[in-house]
Amino acid sequence: MSERIALPTLLAQAKEAAIAELHARMAGEGFTDIRSSHGCVFAFIDPEGGSRLTYLADRSGLTKQAVGEAVDDLEERGYVRRAPDPLDKRAKIIKLTERGDAALATSKRIFDEIERDWQEQLGEDIVVALRSALERLRRVGAEEPGATPARLRG
Amino acid sequence: MSERIALPTLLAQAKEAAIAELHARMAGEGFTDIRSSHGCVFAFIDPEGGSRLTYLADRSGLTKQAVGEAVDDLEERGYVRRAPDPLDKRAKIIKLTERGDAALATSKRIFDEIERDWQEQLGEDIVVALRSALERLRRVGAEEPGATPARLRG
DNA sequence: GTGCCTGGTCAGGTTGCATTACGATCAGGG
DNA sequence: CCCTGATCGTAATGCAACCTGACCAGGCAC
């Protein structure tokens, strides 16, 4: 109780804990080669039709180069593949492979599980309040001129 | 509304927003040369008697080398200095200079201001609930075997 | 003393980004 | 139909913020 810990510190620790938990459980289910930096792909890719690199970069707030590296990595590991875009010969569509699809589904399930675990440990109302507060914060932040860097997940 | 955004993403965005705001305001008050990576020092140093490098490394969850680099940087910029430890000739005590003290005080004030801003935008009860939830999460997390990586602030 | 532990530093490597520059393609006038 | 300018992805390069491993000086126990 002695010291009031700064909010960003608390936010960062909570995020770190959740991400670490995610990767631990992903590894436990056989996805041992997925790293946080792949999050910019999984978090925003269209599971059905795939997405363009530029789209993923926009959404994640990273540069095309950074996302391109993540895609290279995921392609090597068999989670995605690059297909030509029939509408634009410059562009490529990044699509999930079967394995990539499984990884995405698993990660989504684990996120839900973690949130439920937190609810059990803290009480459902508290976690609901936490989510609600963060979502509101996101909305008011989006309206401001500074814009959001976005990022995350994996 | 369509998609439920993962909690870690929300946490990360909130943290990012707060940290960016902190540095913007710090710069506005003349502290233009403080970066996030200096946080491991400011967040855990004893403002009165100073702290050892090893202590800061422990608390922040970083290696001695990483914290040492931050200290080097802050020393060059005049925020801290290394003094010999009278109790142990191997050790050095990292102490805030006058300027470092001012920077720490300013950052604390700004953190409070940001939290109050959030309260105005979202409602006081919501931010109080947010803080409370994060603090509880921290406490249950600390009890687990995985331990906390800690980190942050600046 | 001898031997082990600990505080800090030095050297070198990796990761995750950014900036700049580029060839290929598209889209819209003249 | 070509020319201009924007856009898609890539390549090269650099840098910040970390890490691991090796080391020395000093403390501590026997």
Q: Residue A89 pLDDT > 50, yes or no?
A: yes
- Are β-strands B80-84 and A92-96 bridged in parallel, bridged antiparallel, or unpaired? unpaired
The pLDDT assigned to B147 comes to 41
> Is nucleic acid strand C under 7 Å from A4's C-beta?
no
User: What was the pLDDT predicted at A151?
Assistant: 42
- Which nucleotide in the DNA or RNA is closest to residue A65, CA to C1'? D10
pLDDT score at B143: 60
Find the distance separating the first CA and the last CA of chain A, reported in whole Å. 33
B78 touches A at CB < 8 Å:
no
Residues 49-88 of chain B sitting with CB below 7 angstroms of strand C: 52-55, 64-65, 68, 71, 82, 85, 88
Residues of chain A with Cβ-Cβ distance to B22 below 8 Å are 8
- Ranges of beta strands (E only) in B25-91 are 51-52, 80-84
B117 pLDDT more than 90: yes
Chain A residues 38-67 within 7 Å (CB) of strand C: 40, 61-63, 65-66
Q: Is A116 on the interface with B (CB under 8 A)?
A: no
- Say what the pLDDT of residue B144 is: 57
CA torsion through residues B130, B134, B136, B137, sign = positive
Residue B114 has pLDDT above 90, yes or no: yes
Segment A31-75, tens digit of pLDDT? 999 999 999 999 999 999 999 999 999 999 999 999 999 999 999
How far is residue B74's CA from residue B40's CA, in Å, rounded to a whole number?
A: 11
Q: What CA–CA distance (Å, rounded) separates B26 from B108?
A: 10
Residue B105 contacts A, CB cutoff 8 Å: no
pLDDT band at B44 (very low <50, low <70, confident <90, very high): very high
Exposed, middle or buried by CB within 10 Å (0-12, 13-18, 19+), for A104?
middle
Is residue B23 scored above 90 in pLDDT?
A: yes
pTM for the predicted model, two decimal places = 0.87
How does pLDDT run across A100-152, given as a tens digit for each residue?
999 999 999 999 999 999 999 999 999 999 999 999 998 887 665 444 443 44
